[in-house]
Amino acid sequence: MTTECSLRRSLAIQLRVVGALLLREVLTRFGRHNIGFLWLFVEPMLFTLVIAAVWYWVRDKGLHGSNLPILPFAITGYSTILLWRNAANRCASAVRPNVALLYHRNVAVIDLFAARLLLEIAAATGSLVVLLGALVFLGQADRPADLLTMVGGWLLLVWFAIALGLIIGPLAERSSAFHRIWQMLHYPLFPLSGALFLVDWLPAQVQTIILWVPMVNGVEMLRAGYYGSAIQSHYSAGYLAMVNVIMLWFGLKLVEHSKRMVSSE
């Protein structure tokens, strides 16, 4: 058997493994009753709609000074938080409940993380697409000004969410104290992530500082694609990509270490 055929066969096996883990995860979380796996998309949509409704009320009461359409602003912002926060949180509890599955030869630690990451990415992406699509269809929002830029920003945020999940998951598995620290840490990251503001609204000296936060660049790029020339955006796709590469490398190293720890047990 050639090396190419062997690699192709191994990839096919791992794809089937991840697919089976996906189905298991969906059934474990949502069951077969009511709308079943559709809760995967409905749940983040409901959360996002609640946040959007609050923002709409704030705008209606004159407590928010921007002239931007507030519903798309809230949806594009909160969807990004759901993406990286849920990806990291789900990875933080991926291994221990499923450690028995690792006794199967073809199931690896990375597969457990991959299944959960794919679910959260699908949920956040589906929520964003459906809610924005519904607003456009109902005439409550304009179409994206630059769809390619918008998709590029979202894909960079997806990459960030994967890298973050692969870091938080192994570290939380190694230390329950770190798990608790992360649960506290992600709350202050919420207002710093760029979901609640545009960088251009901030003082010039603060803009330089806030752009060091990786997620801000992705959110700005996402909104630059949606609003186009209606806003002044500030972001560096190259900086976010560089951070993602470093985080992903670090995350894969941690996953490899977790694999050795599980094997030794």
For 155-175, what is each residue's pLDDT tens digit? 999 999 999 999 998 888 887
Percent of the chain's residues with pLDDT above 90: 31
Residue listed under structure tokens 């894909």: 155
**235 falls in which pLDDT band (50, 70, 90)?**
very high
Q: What is the pTM of this model?
A: 0.86
Percent of the chain's residues with pLDDT above 70: 81
Q: Which of 175 and 112 is assigned the larger pLDDT?
A: 112
For 56-83, what is each residue's pLDDT tens digit? 665 554 445 567 777 888 888 888 988 9
Q: Which two tokens stand for residue 194?
A: 């760029």
> Do 28 and 97 touch, CB atoms closer than 8 A?
no
At residue 106, φ and ψ (nearest 5 deg) are -90, 0
Parse the chain into domains and list their residue ranges: 3-264
Measured in whole angstroms, the distance separating CA 72 from the mean position of its chain's CA atoms is 18
Evaluate if residue 123 carries a pLDDT over 90: no
> Do 90 and 165 touch, CB atoms closer than 8 A?
yes
Q: Which amino acid is at 265?
A: E
